[in-house]
Each structure stands twice: as C-alpha cells, then as structure tokens.
Amino acid sequence: MKIAVVQFPGTNCEHETLVAARSAGLSGEIFRWNRPAEELSDFDGYIIPGGFSYQDRLRAGAIASKEPVMEALREEAELGKPIIGICNGFQILVESGLLPGLDGVNVALAQNVMVSKGEIVRRGFYCAWTTLRHESPPKRCSGSFLLEKGDLIRMPLAHAEGNLVTADERLMDRLNEENQVVFRYCSEQGEVDDEFPVNINGSLENIAGICNPEGNVLGMMPHPERSSFAFQLPPTDARKCVGDMGAAGPGRRVFESMKRYIEVRR
C-alpha cells in the first residue's frame, strides 16, 4: 500500500506526515506538486499535509487548489481512493471543491475567532492541544475508518484560518444528515461546547473535520501526525512515553484507518 504525500511550495509537514503514515504500516513517498500529475495514479491513497502552500497568498489553499495536481487528485478521488487533507491540506481541499464535495465551493475556512461568554477574546493564529470527538459512524470515512462513534482523540492544532463558515443556510443540516461531520472539537471529557477554549477556532458547530459524501476524502484542521507517537504527547498526558520511541500515540489511528480503508477497497 503506497501513498503519496503531496508537497506544494510552502508545505512544511510532509516529512513527519510520511513518518506517521509509515508507522501505521503504509509505504509511500513525498510527491512534489510539479511532477507529472498522471504519476499519481500509481498510488493507493494521498495525503495533503499542513504548511503554508504558496505562503497563503490570496487566501489559504486558494492558489494550490488551481494546480494541475489537484485535478488529477479529483480524478483519483472519483475512483474511490482515499485522500486526507491536514490543516493547509484541508484548506486546499475546500478551495478545490473536493470538500464537502457537493457542488462547487460550499464552505470557507476563515480567520479564527475565539468567543467566550459572548465576547471575542482572541483572533487569528492559535497553537494548542485539542480533543476531537468522532461524530460519524464507524467505516463512514477513510481517515476514521477504525474509530467508533464518540471516540475521543487528542492531537495538536496550529493555524490561523480554520474557522469553518458557510453562506449556505442548509449546508449544516445536510452535512449532519449525511454524516459528513467527522470530527468536532470537544472537552477532554467529550463534551461539545461552542465557546472557546473548547471550540478552539470558532468553527460552525465545532467542526474540526468533514468528509465528502462518498467518505473517501477527509479534511481536518488538527494534526494527527503530531500525535502519532506517544513521545509527542504533552507532559500532562498520562499516555506520554519517552522510553519506547515507536509507541503509538492517538493520532496514528487516522493513518491506520487509511491503511484499513485501502485494504478493504481491494
């Protein structure tokens, strides 16, 4: 099972994403955006990692979404192959219309707005550990294939534009009805509160990750590759382990899910 970690100019998480994918049993390589796009068909799945593609010029993800490699990824997605976009990768998938994958561009990832007790307490870039609650049924989505509904998963995030907004008043109903909301920000106990710091970026309905209607394309703002090993966990987490450098962290489940999804598709 070979995956491509797609690198754009300004991507900066490609190496640790590949290491995390390998730790879950996947093989793969970093695929630069300017390679012949047709070479993508040699891979079983794709990850668009985090960073600042094209320096976030115009708006995050907008320029990368117009690259030929994205059109090739759209064709691979239509074949059912899994694609996971992490952070800037999620922004690129949104700008390309691959997520939520309905018709055109359906949402925007706007600047973070942290609201507490009715007041804006902070805006813009934020970096912190967060807890995600898995919202969709098991096997609904490639990147959470092995997770049960209600499972909690810890991982960090670091972004300025992850606040999911939409001008389509009916979109949220549709995403909820179709189980396209995959992850929500929640407290460590699993409670969803729409105020900061639980809703860490002001996203509509605490959304941290969504998938397309078919479930093979997932986008998420937090970074599973940064909690794929137990040694990466914060000192306050009882699961932190520095003795065994290969011990799994919670984020690895995302990559293990992708692997299992590919196995099941075969």
Is 191 one of the catalytic residues?
A: no
Tokens of 97: 């219309």
In 64-212, DSSP assigns E strands to: 83-86, 108-110, 113-116, 119-123, 126-134, 152-159, 163-165, 181-186, 207-211
Residue 69 binding other proteins, by CB under 8 A: no
d(CA 264, CA 81): 11
Residue 124 binding other proteins, by CB under 8 A: yes
Q: Which of 2, 27, 75, 120 binds other proteins (CB under 8 A)?
A: 120
Q: Which of 57, 188, 214, 234 binds other proteins (CB under 8 A)?
A: 57
Residue 110 binding other proteins, by CB under 8 A: yes
Letter for the amino acid at 60?
A: A
Residue 59 binding other proteins, by CB under 8 A: yes
Is 39 one of the catalytic residues?
A: no
d(CA 2, CA 115): 42
| Catalytic residue of the set 14, 16, 87, 159 | 87
Q: Which of 22, 123, 240, 265 binds other proteins (CB under 8 A)?
A: 123
d(CA 79, CA 85): 17
Is 241 one of the catalytic residues?
A: no
Which positions are catalytic? 87, 223, 225
Interface residues with other proteins (CB under 8 A) are 54-55, 57-59, 62-63, 66-68, 95, 105-108, 110-111, 113, 120, 123-124, 165-168
